[in-house]
Amino acid sequence: MRPDPAFGLLELYDDALPHVYGYLLARVRDVPLAEDLTAETFLAAVSALRKQPAPELSVGWLIGVARHKLADHWRRAEREQRGLRLVDSDQQDTVDPWDEEVDVMVAHEVLCQLGPHHQAALTLRYLDGLGVPQVAEHLGRTVHATEALLVRARNAFRRTYRGEEGAP
Amino acid sequence: MTDPLDALRAEVEPVRPDAAFAERLRERLRRAVLSGAPSTMDSTGTERTMAETVTQQTVEEPEDLAWGPTLQPHIHVADARRALDWYVDVLGAKRRGEAYVMPDGSIGHAELRFGDAVLMLAEGTYPGIPVAPPTGELHSTSLNLQVSDVDATIERAESAGATIERRPDDQPYGRVATIVDPFGHRWMFNQPRGAAPRARHGEVAFTTIFVPDDEAAKAFYGAVLGWDFASGSAERGWVLTGKEDSFGMSGGAERPEVQLCYRVNDMAAAVERVRANGGQVGEIESKPYGQLVECSDDQGTRFQLYQPPAS
């Protein structure tokens, strides 16, 4: 008999919990939602640890699981909201040079006002610092589609940040 | 050109979540670890599979899976299924959650509840874990279990194959007996003498809900919390089934309130302190289970003091 690899998660729980929760809270800025996603993360980790080959259990790995849960959350939210509005079909996909200094505090607030798919793309790309291919992988899109999404997300972000008309 | 949004880069800063949430999640996690059998070889574990697993694991929580007591003995036995049945049938244990079955069919972890205690149990041995079912005549532990009728327990144990080491006899602290169960574990049974309150000085020994209409209250709490009351010693007095020694209800009260009864070590001195600090003290009553007095504090909150009989 071999010990269940998921037992290690119980031992790591106290140390890992503030990291996972802190990661999620900083990105969703909503306590009940951060708690839900934290719970999803740890429970998903149990089954992931039992797969072969078993991943190496660490706080960093748990943050990765949390990132997937976060992307899932935005995908769900996007599906729910899709029927309520036209998805930025009228907006251009062109890169608009933008070279000003961003106030980080304001930027985080602006981010929370964007649509779920824009939040997802910008959070993974900029807060987490992932490369475009990894963002694409988390969002379940092609790299090309992700690049286009990032352009639209940046445009939406900038309009809201500058308080321009048409902003959500 | 630098990207202005690069300024958003956020390292993970640990944040301690709400303590109650942390405990609830720990318990869910613990149950997920203990109850779910390991999945079979599947290297294509994707988000979808993980999400589905989460859904399965967050089904309704069994009501008896509150977080266990501070100390929980963990024993190894050669035949866990038989041992679980034996402890349930002979010692009145309750199964606590599902047993965790290992890929080879053995039981990796199971839990039993004895009153407010929890016994953990595993089958056989594990590589690298130096614990094994007992084999020899010498034991290093005895599981000391409080029972309500030690003679009946010994009778059941004997007919179910236990070795009786010491038949019931009366000691200053209760009526006791000792057995070795069919799985090699040594148990001491103790039937406490008379009133033996668990509360220590200053702790809540008894909680009473005072209501004008006790029948209505029984119906209310029965419907809301599933409570069941048995009649107590006083008129229109009731005790909560399963918590007879610590929780009750009293009908015919002028105003509804919940009163706490605190255990004290020295009734005369405690009553003196109530008065000296501006509280009110009623008449000290002698009951079969000890001395009781109704008091109120200097702001009018009513409470009781209780001292068990000297043993």
Read off the pLDDT of each residue in B60-76 and give the average, rounded to a whole number: 73
Task: List chain B domain ranges.
Answer: 74-192, 204-307
**Residue A1 to residue B124, Cβ atoms within 8 A:** yes
Sign of CA dihedral B122, B128, B131, B136: positive
CB distance A110 to A156 below 8 Å: no
Q: In the beta sheet, which residues pair with residue B292?
A: B285, B306
Q: Which residue has the tokens 């199964």?
A: B95
From A21, A48, A126, residue closest to B15, measured CB to CB:
A21
Has residue B175 got a pLDDT over 80? Answer: yes
Strand order in the sheet with B174-180: B143-146, B186-192, B174-180, B163-171
CATH 1.10.1740 boundaries in chain A? 7-82
Read off the pLDDT of each residue in B198-211 and give the average, rounded to a whole number: 91
**Residue B14 to residue A19, Cβ atoms within 8 A:** yes
Question: Which of chain B's residues have a Cβ under 8 Å away from the Cβ of A122?
Answer: 5, 8
**Residue A126 to residue B8, Cβ atoms within 8 A:** yes
Closest Cα partner for B146 from B181, B185, B110, B193? B193
From A18, A34, A104, residue closest to B7, measured CB to CB:
A104
**Residue B47 to residue A97, Cβ atoms within 8 A:** no
State how far the alpha carbon of B99 is from the alpha carbons of B31, B80, B102, B134, in Å.
10, 10, 10, 21
Task: Give the relative orientation of helices A31-49 and A7-28 as an angle to the nearest 10 degrees.
Answer: 150
Per CATH, is A104-161 categorized as 1.10.10.10? yes
H or E stretch including B209? strand B204-210
CATH 1.10.10.10 boundaries in chain A? 104-161
Question: Which of chain A's residues have a Cβ under 8 Å away from the Cβ of B133?
Answer: none
What is the CA A84 to chain-centroid distance, rounded? 22
Question: Which of chain B's residues have a Cβ under 8 Å away from the Cβ of A107?
Answer: 5, 7-8
**Residue B15 to residue A108, Cβ atoms within 8 A:** no
Distance from C-alpha of A74 to C-alpha of A153, rounded to nearest angstrom:
14
Counting other chains too, the contacts that B108-111 makes at CB distance below 8 Å and 24 or more residues apart are B108/A1, B108/A4, B109/B34, B110/B80, B110/B84, B111/B34, B111/B68
From A97, A101, A127, residue closest to B9, measured CB to CB:
A127
What pLDDT score was predicted for residue B35?
A: 64
Q: Measure B136 CA to nearest chain A CA, in Å.
A: 24
Q: What is the pLDDT of residues A56-77, one digit of tens each?
A: 899 999 999 999 999 988 888 8
CATH no. of B204-307 = 3.10.180.10
Q: Which residue has the tokens 């998903």?
A: A44
State how far the alpha carbon of B191 is from the alpha carbons of B88, B147, B201, B212, in Å.
18, 5, 23, 37
pTM of the full structure:
0.44
State how far the alpha carbon of B270 is from the alpha carbons of B50, B253, B303, in Å.
59, 26, 13
**Residue B41 to residue A40, Cβ atoms within 8 A:** no
Read off the pLDDT of each residue in B101-105 and give the average, rounded to a whole number: 81
State how far the alpha carbon of B169 is from the alpha carbons of A6, B154, B175, in Å.
47, 12, 5
**Residue B38 to residue A43, Cβ atoms within 8 A:** no
Read off the pLDDT of each residue in B81-99 and give the average, rounded to a whole number: 90
Tokens of B112: 């039993």
Whether the link from the prior residue into A53 is cis, omega within 30° of 0, is: yes
H or E stretch including A133? helix A132-139
From B2, B8, B100, residue closest to A127, measured CB to CB:
B8
From A27, A39, A122, residue closest to B5, measured CB to CB:
A122
CATH architecture, range A7-82: Orthogonal Bundle (1.10)
CB distance B250 to B237 below 8 Å: yes
What pLDDT score was predicted for residue B54?
A: 33
Fold match between domain B74-192 and domain B204-307: yes
Could you say which DSSP state residue B165 is in? E
**Residue B17 to residue A52, Cβ atoms within 8 A:** no
List of residues 6+ apart from A57 with CB closer than 8 A:
A5, A8, A9, A12, A45, A49
CATH no. of B74-192 = 3.10.180.10
Q: What is the pLDDT of residues B3-49, one digit of tens each?
A: 888 888 888 889 999 998 998 898 888 877 776 543 332 333 333 33
Q: In the beta sheet, which residues pair with residue B285?
A: B292
Has residue A111 got a pLDDT over 70? Answer: yes
Q: Which residue has the tokens 């613990």?
A: B30
What pLDDT score was predicted for residue B196?
A: 62
Tokens of B299: 């702001």
Q: Measure A168 CA to nearest chain B CA, in Å.
A: 19
